[in-house]
Amino acid sequence: MGEKILCENKKARHDYFIEETYEAGIALQGTEVKSLRLGKAHLKDSYVQIEEQEAFLHNTHISPYPYGHQFNHDPERVRKLLLHKREIRRLMGKTRERGYTLIPLKVYLKNGKIKLEIGLGKGKTHYDKREVLKKRSADREIEKVLKSNR
């Protein structure tokens, strides 16, 4: 069994330099799992915060399951992340440093379980974003020239 990506935060790599990634489980309700399997989630403005030795996922929107009726979940609720204590302690130390933040990168299905990839990132400035775009376009031009010479 491989991985199936359920939703991805594409803007995260544009706005942050991702230095490390971690895999975490998410404590979900039944209708949230069904809704995620349908791909009805958004990580756009979400972030991870560590409170009292526990990690929580904030501002993630998981749409209500269409067939859930009165058993449906709150789409914007705070969800607990399942990480090892040593990982949480390490992340706490890193996020106390100036400029580091925890960003959810993607939600995926791995061996029947829903997992979240968290990135430890440092914010990019406007200048950094322009530099990355310049480098990417230069690489494309080089690739195009190399292809045409073959």
Q: If you count them, how many residues does the chain have?
A: 150
pLDDT of residue 128: 81
pLDDT of residue 22: 95
Task: Specify the pTM.
Answer: 0.80
pLDDT of residue 1: 57
Assess contact for 49 and 56: CB atoms under 8 A. yes
H or E element at residue 116: strand 113-123
pLDDT of residue 117: 95
What's domain 3-124's architecture? Beta Barrel (2.40)
Assess contact for 69 and 30: CB atoms under 8 A. no
3-state secondary structure of 127: helix
pLDDT of residue 105: 95
Return the domain boundaries, the chain: 3-124
Consecutive sets of 10 residues in the chain, 150 residues long: mean pLDDT of each?
Answer: 86 89 92 88 91 93 82 85 94 86 94 93 84 89 86
H or E element at residue 145: helix 126-149
